[in-house]
Structure 1
């Protein structure tokens, strides 16, 4: 697996999915969410690798990347510095970036500090913790699906997660609550969800949001107002994890941001509707 040296001399790993020949479309760097989840869950992002390489880093303490010597290395501003080290390693003056879920916080920190290196930014199903708002539409989406067979057990599990502290308990609750993250609960969704427990890194998850106080959050948002690249925020109208309103708030943080909802998809659009998700991203990346 290829690796690069980050700001603190750590050797971090990444993988390349898709074509590697010189004639291929420029690469798309892809950040996983979780937080602290093994990036393997991104797969090929619904076939986005057909025409361009996907460069998918393992964040610290996940996949093949080691834990940081300093726990502050798990925090998303530090992960943004890892991304900048990866850019330099790859020799990319400018590049397109895609981030899913909590990976959007790392992407926003990167855009705030290094936005001049981005040609396009795609954010998929983000939360809006950085924006300082926690909309309740995800809960309403969840409640609207109460007639589905999986719903009662998922409801109990989802509302137990806030109090769970033991990692085995968290994994069990995530397994039971998993259907709420998808637009439907068919074989592809079940297979994708089944891997989540083993992919979850409890320490990276716990450290992701540490050390970012209110002044730092506000300063980051102010810098986003000066990011020049186009930003597309994709949401799913059946996403009972982060909902749709959070994506609208994230898009509004950028001067050239827009949100695009997809019908019939949840928190993982490339799993629910890959043939809907893929063209939306490809068309956006092809635009100047």
Structure 2
């Protein structure tokens, strides 16, 4: 399993490519409490690797990536530089950047910094079930802070098995697609297999720090020059709504919407998800 050291963080990543001459690199970022398994267990990595050099990163606080001491660096401005550190470590100048949910928030903010002019490192941008704002909820500040505290508490005090069992009983908006799937048991079992690789205390610390910016940064979105794909899903209403900021402001944007699945699109329907991202990448691999 490959790792690289950047300051006080030992980053774990997965790298796959089945061709000597690929059509470029795709860097993939997972969502909260997930890790590289979101891309590998769903078959997305294997499928894309037929044509691309695919690199999936365990973001700091997640998976097998470890942070030694302080600073933890769980704010978004640090996380976008982790993407640069990974690309520099692998000697990759330009790449496609794909992010799901929280990873999509990082990807969007990265594009605001490195998606135009002399800073342009992106061949394309893929934003999956995510938001331009970095906030756990759209409730008033005090309610949002309470929700963040409750989520962090659950990661610290309940096992992954207990968390999954609770989501089966009350899936909420982010796990509605899993609950409505034709085989919900298989979906929740798969979600558990993805989550169990993470350290729950680290994820709790991440939650307390990361979700702190309600601004959608519309003017910054309008500066993103690279081709962008926005993926949304019918059973993921929160992020379908917030994705409108991408669709309405990023100049060169495409939109793919699934009518039958929810927030975890790559897990719930990997065939559909792979088809839309592969089609998009084929159109823009030579940018």
| TM-score between the two structures when normalised by the length of structure 2 | 0.76
Q: 1:224 to 1:162 in 2, by over 3 A?
A: same
Structure 1 unaligned residues grouped into runs of 5+: 136-159
SS at match of 1:195: helix
| Matched residue, 1:153 | none
Tell whether the 8 Å contact from 2:9 to 2:60 is kept in structure 1 after alignment. Answer: no
| Matched residue, 2:220 | 223
1:13 aligns with 2:12: yes
| Matched residue, 2:158 | 169
Structure 2 unaligned residues grouped into runs of 5+: 140-146
Tell whether the 8 Å contact from 2:234 to 2:258 is kept in structure 1 after alignment. Answer: yes
Tell whether the 8 Å contact from 2:28 to 2:99 is kept in structure 1 after alignment. Answer: yes
Tell whether the 8 Å contact from 1:5 to 1:12 is kept in structure 2 after alignment. Answer: yes
For the aligned residues, what is the CA RMSD?
A: 3.2
SS at match of 2:79: helix
Deviation per CA, 1:217-254: give whole Å up to 9, x if none. 57x553332110011110111226x4421222233342
| Matched residue, 2:202 | 203
Map residues 70-109 of structure 1 onto 2, 5 A cutoff.
70-109=70-109
Deviation per CA, 1:177-226: give whole Å up to 9, x if none. 25524251515423312325524434234335637866x957x5533321
Tell whether the 8 Å contact from 1:17 to 1:54 is kept in structure 2 after alignment. Answer: yes
| Matched residue, 1:155 | none
1:77 positional shift:
1.8
| Matched residue, 1:277 | 273
Map residues 2-151 of structure 1 onto 2, 5 A cutoff.
2-6=2-6, 8=7, 10-19=9-18, 21-34=19-32, 36-43=33-40, 44-45=43-44, 47-115=47-115, 116-130=120-134, 134=138
How many residues were matched structurally?
258
Deviation per CA, 1:101-139: give whole Å up to 9, x if none. 11111112211222210011111111453499849xxxx
SS at match of 1:287: helix
Q: 1:169 to 1:2 in 2, by over 3 A?
A: closer
Tell whether the 8 Å contact from 2:60 to 2:67 is kept in structure 1 after alignment. Answer: yes
| Matched residue, 2:259 | 263
Tell whether the 8 Å contact from 1:231 to 1:258 is kept in structure 2 after alignment. Answer: yes
SS at match of 1:50: coil
Q: 1:16 to 1:80 in 2, by over 3 A?
A: same
